[in-house]
Amino acid sequence: MVFFEHHGVEEKESFHSLNLVNANFPLHFHRAYELIIVNEGELLVTIDQKEYLMKKKDVAFIFNNQMHEFKTNKSSTITVVIFSPELIGHFFMNYKGFIPKNNVFHLTQIPDMKALHSIYRQKSFLYDFCSHLVEHTDFMPVEHSTKTKVLHKILLFVDKHYRKDCTLKEVAKHLQYDYAYLSKLFVQMTSMTFTEYLTHYRISEACYQLKNSQQSIGEIAMNCGYDNLRSFNRNFKKITNHSPRKYRELSST
């Protein structure tokens, strides 16, 4: 079982870091990017069925929607950083639909996470890791096997078509798969329906536009695939606990 976490679909741009000792975490994926930095010990990380034995000063740069899990090998102290794609928007747009051939690279020193006390330091920190990754490896279009490959194709379809009438029936037609099969597969692998995922994706995009543009709420709703403002307002409040107007007010303070 693979499960979906809601990192990256929050109402605000997010940057979370935590230190873990002798940690294990099961197979999962999320819209956010993730960094796993080994401070001490060894960690066995699996990313899209590829295994990496990570040691001190190694870092794994996990792309959005990549399936991953990790297990401590004897002992480990790690730092995990989970952050919204919008924090590295230029990189995110340039590499959407691609993944690294090698997700893991080596650092010369362990970063000082306490120094990342402002959004500007956080973005500088993240873009520095983007630079390391680009210099370290090539990238390839999302390609996986069997169910994982199909799931990634569904997620990529949402990336490209969420502004339009994006339905699982359209996905099935585009991918030439049976609708019932895709519906069952999506729930099995994410523990949520396609409609639930699409709603969270659209609302996360709306949050970003409300915070970073001067467009009207109606325009943003249309940009995010809603032709019915009432439905947009209802879904927005259900996920963020605020109306779009209130969210914009809170974001500007």
pLDDT of residue 66: 85
Instruction: Find all residues with CB under 8 Å of 226, minimum gap 6, and list them.
Output: 202, 232, 235
| φ and ψ at residue 70, rounded to 5 degrees | -145, 150
Pairing of strands 25-30, 3-5: parallel
pLDDT of residue 83: 93
CA distances to 64, 86, 90, 109, 239 from 250, in Å: 27, 19, 25, 38, 16
**Boundaries of CATH 1.10.10.60 in the chain?**
146-251
Query: Residue 120: which H helix or E strand, with range?
Result: helix 119-136
147 closest CA partner among 123, 181, 118, 193: 181
Helix axes 146-161, 168-175, angle to 10 degrees: 120
CATH of domain 146-251: 1.10.10.60
Dist. CA 84–CA 146, nearest whole Å: 28
Dist. CA 181–CA 243, nearest whole Å: 36
What sign for the dihedral angle of Cα 161, 164, 167, 169?
Answer: negative
The burial of 165, by beta-carbon neighbours within 10 Å (0-12 exposed, 13-18 middle, 19 or more buried), is given as: exposed
pLDDT of residue 12: 57
**pLDDT tens, residue order, the chain (253 aa):** 344 454 444 445 789 999 999 999 887 888 889 999 999 999 999 998 789 999 999 999 999 878 888 999 999 999 999 998 989 999 999 998 889 999 999 999 999 999 998 999 999 999 999 999 999 999 988 755 467 778 878 988 998 899 998 999 999 999 999 999 999 999 887 778 999 999 988 998 898 899 888 999 999 999 999 999 999 999 999 988 999 999 998 887 6
Q: What is the DSSP string of 25-85?
A: EEEEEESSEEEEEEEEEEEEEEETTEEEEE-TTEEEEEPTT--EEEEEEEEEEEEEEEE-G
What's the fold here for domain 3-141?
Jelly Rolls (2.60.120)
CA distances to 133, 164, 229 from 176, in Å: 34, 19, 32
Residue labelled with tokens 């329906």 = 193
**Boundaries of CATH 2.60.120.810 in the chain?**
3-141
Report how far apart the first and last C-alpha atoms of the chain are (Å, whole number). Answer: 41
pLDDT of residue 73: 94
Give the type of residue at 180.
A
Q: How many CB atoms lie within 10 A of CB 184?
A: 11
